[in-house]
Amino acid sequence: MTGRILLASGNAKKLKELRRVVEAAGISGLTVVGLGDFEAYPEPVENGASFEENALIKAREAVARTGLPSLADDSGICVDALNGMPGILSARWSGGLVSGSSVDEGNNDLLLAQLSDVPEDRRGAAFVSVCALVMPDGAETVVRGEWRGAIIAQRRGGEGFGYDPLFVPDDAAAGGRTSAELAPDEKDALSHRGKALVQLVPLLRALA
């Protein structure tokens, strides 16, 4: 085995999450590397119709480019009142239409506007994460994690990224806090991505 796994993402916070999962599982001898550790290559077009398809597109491209076992995550927020949207479009929901804001801020602003007339008891949502692990020999494993909760009317918290400041998990352990108010280890134990990644621990251990 190589003793290395590539997270096919340029998101430094996702990279930290995967490294925390590896550490928490007691996996020694496995180095988690990111796209920044390799010569840049054009991002593959994420034209899949599902989280599963897009995760596989990214992981397959990473294996082809680097020859390393590669893990890719495709994730988003699925809001009940919006018929499951933004879903796979979560990262680009505002389409750059909100000027003067970061991408995350623009996406959050648009989501809040779309839910402005929706009452509290109809603001249910779920974070979804699908992780695809693709091996150099072509073996593929796809796992899914979901995290139920609700969208609140204004941002709270400075941790996390994306829609975290608007999402209050149903979990009693969260105590009514948003996922942006949870410490990293608390979030890992509850989150959609944590639930997906923990399913891959036996395979990650085999790579060490």
- In the set 74, 80, 104, 109, the catalytic residue is 74
Nearest 10 degrees: CA dihedral of 45, 50, 51, 52?
Answer: -90
Q: What is the DSSP string of 88-113?
A: GGGGGTTTT-STTS-HHHHHHHHHHH
Place of tokens 């034209």: 47
Tokens (6 digits) for 203: 């395979």
Is there a binding annotation on residue 187?
yes
Please tell me whether 12 is known to bind a ligand: yes
Q: Does 162 belong to an annotated binding site? A: yes
Domain range for 99? 4-207
Known active-site residue 74: yes
> How are strands ordered across the β-sheet holding 70-79?
31-34, 4-7, 70-79, 124-134, 140-151, 167-169
Q: Digits of tens for pLDDT over the chain (208 positions)? A: 459 999 998 888 889 888 988 888 889 899 999 999 999 999 899 999 999 999 999 999 999 999 999 999 999 999 999 999 999 999 989 886 655 568 899 999 999 999 999 999 999 999 999 999 999 999 999 999 999 999 999 999 999 889 999 999 999 999 999 999 999 989 989 999 999 999 999 999 999 8
Whether 145 contacts 195, CB under 8 Å: yes
User: What's the domain count of the chain?
Assistant: 1
**Cα 144 from Cα 117, distance rounded (Å):** 31
Quote the pTM value.
0.92
Indicate which CATH number applies to the domain containing 46: 3.90.950.10
Peptide bond into 86 cis (omega under 30): yes
